[in-house]
């Protein structure tokens, strides 16, 4: 992905849209639009809807159609078929927990920004060989956290990351302070009780708190 200002989201870097990308699991597509509006109002326009539920693609379609200020992406993309489904639903970026050559080829061919998942230095080097410099570091906390990412910065300075997995409001600033981290993915602004109660004002408040974490 290339970094730019935001006139064309498909050409912009997801890493530069906001300090935090909410990672959303939607069970009811009817919740997608009010949830997205709350996140955008709180200052988090890049929203990753994971392809983990039957409602996910309909949720992406609804957000793409009805929340123009949202940059909705598809997460948990693990196959070329998933890439096609996400593109057809209107996703504007793609995120995978890991990658294969077939999946990487499909993501490249989609024309969308994408973040393939990595957890090791070898995976990072392999992606750099393919011309990919922006990646998801997953599962961040379990794979070594800030100490591991800091150790990658000197030998692999071209790689930039969106760490995701186990990150909280408390730990996010430590990740965002690293030179090779553009943003983090998280779920803490989406507490299950707030989602169950459809408490969108609370989601907006927590999103606003997350959006204020930008340190650079």
Helix axes 56-66, 32-41, angle to 10 degrees: 50
- Which are the catalytic amino acids? 48, 136
> Rounded CA gap, 127 and 116, in Å?
9
Assigned token pair, 87: 């593109």
β-bridge pairing 134-137 and 117-118:
parallel
Helix axes 32-41, 200-211, angle to 10 degrees: 40
Q: Say how far apart CA 180 and CA 124 lie, in whole Å.
A: 12
Contacts of 29 (CB under 8 A, 6+ apart): 55, 58, 59, 62
């Amino acid at each position: 992905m290339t970094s730019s200002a935001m006139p064309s989201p498909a050409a912009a870097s997801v890493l530069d849209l906001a300090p935090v990308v909410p990672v959303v699991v939607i069970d009811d597509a009817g919740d997608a639009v009010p949830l997205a509006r709350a996140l955008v109002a709180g200052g988090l326009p890049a929203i990753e809807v994971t392809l983990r539920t039957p409602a996910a693609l309909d949720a992406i379609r609804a957000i793409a159609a009805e929340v123009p200020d949202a940059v909705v992406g598809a997460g948990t993309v693990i196959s070329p078929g998933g890439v096609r489904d996400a593109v057809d639903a209107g996703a504007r970026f793609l995120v995978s927990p890991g990658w294969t050559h077939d999946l990487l080829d499909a993501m490249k061919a989609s024309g969308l920004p994408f973040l393939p998942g990595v957890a090791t230095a070898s995976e990072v080097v392999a992606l750099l060989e393919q011309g990919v410099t922006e990646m998801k570091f997953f599962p961040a906390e379990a794979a070594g956290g800030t100490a591991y990412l800091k150790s990658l910065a000197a030998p692999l300075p071209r790689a930039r990351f969106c760490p995701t997995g186990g990150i909280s409001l408390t730990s996010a600033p430590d990740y965002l302070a690293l030179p090779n981290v553009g943003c983090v993915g998280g779920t803490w602004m989406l507490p299950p009780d707030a989602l169950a109660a459809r408490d969108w004002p609370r989601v907006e408040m927590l999103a606003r708190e997350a959006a204020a974490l930008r340190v650079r």
